[in-house]
Amino acid sequence: MAHSSISDARSSQGLRVKIVALMLHVRWQNVVGLAISQYVAAVMLFNDVSEWQQTLSEGKLHGLIFSVAFLVAGGYLINNFYDREKDRINRPIRTAIESNIRKSSVLYGYLAFTLTGSLLALLVSGRAFLYYSAYAFLLWAYSHKFKRITLLGNLVATLLVVVPFFGLLLYYHVQRPVVVYYGFFYSWLFFMRESVKDIRYYKGDMLLTYQTVPVVFGLRRAIAFLRAYAFVGMLISLGLFALSVHDVLSAFALLIFVFFVVIWFRFRGSRAVKWAPSIHTVLRVFLILGILVLPLLR
């Protein structure tokens, strides 16, 4: 009896560990955040807020959002499938937990999530199926090939972030310039984050010969490139400030402008590598704030 109880306890504990590992694999917080941002955009940006109940009663909207959620979760799985060795170097503790799920199970999970997401898009429409099937292919191609190609990896990663947003733009036939421009602005923030991440995880990329900008051109040039990106970001931020019709959105644009100015003047030399984790974190916070200000684009 005691032996059976111990065995059941171990089995239960093993199951909990696998569940935690799966949640880490699919980056559940990112998937949930993406779904919430799409609902916020649909209710408060693309429709009248007072008609939120009608908006949320649209079955096709839920189909699109859940399709993206499953596809993105699958994208994280296949990304981890290819990147496990790299992550052992850059994120050893997290990878140790994720390793409780075998690579073959990760691959099967990817196929299940991707198939489910594609079928949900098919239930919405044929065009949605084609659009999101192309998205699913890009998620796989990024993990398998593109992320290892200098600069192209960061550009494709940025594209993958904004594809769901533009999917809703197409669904609601939105053509407002400020909304489209904001998509470009948000994309640049994400591109900056990916560029900083390359500098932050330079060691793991170099050991596994990933062709990132710091590995191919060296840290000094990568830092110079990042400062150039920051200068472009300053101009883009000023453009958003000029288009803004809300004080909070204007303040957000100016905050990002100041942040890019700081990078332009201070992110240089040997200290830049030490600052990369902090800058990476700040950019992640700005990306979250960028979702919260979506309703102000009306």
Return d(Cα 160, Cα 165) in angstroms, integer: 10
Q: Tell me, what's the pLDDT at 252?
A: 95
Rounded to whole angstroms, the Cα distance separating 245 from 156 reads: 31
Structural tokens at position 185: 């602005």
Residues of the chain predicted below pLDDT 50? 8-9
pTM for the predicted model, two decimal places = 0.81
Give the separation between CA 36 and CA 30, rounded to whole angstroms. 10
DSSP track, 209-265 = T---HHHHH-HHHHHHHHHHHHHHHHHHHHHHHHH--SHHHHHHHHHHHHHHHHHHH
One-letter amino acid of 125: S
Q: b/e per residue, 168-192, with b = 16+ CB within 10 A?
A: bbebbeeeeebbebbbebbbbbbbb
Whether residue 98 contacts residue 77, with contact meaning beta carbons closer than 8 Å, is answered with no
pLDDT at residue 71, rounded to an integer: 96
| Burial category of 117 from C-beta neighbours within 10 Å (exposed 0-12, middle 13-18, buried 19 and up) | buried
CA proximity to 79, closest of 150, 30, 131? 30
pLDDT of residue 98: 63
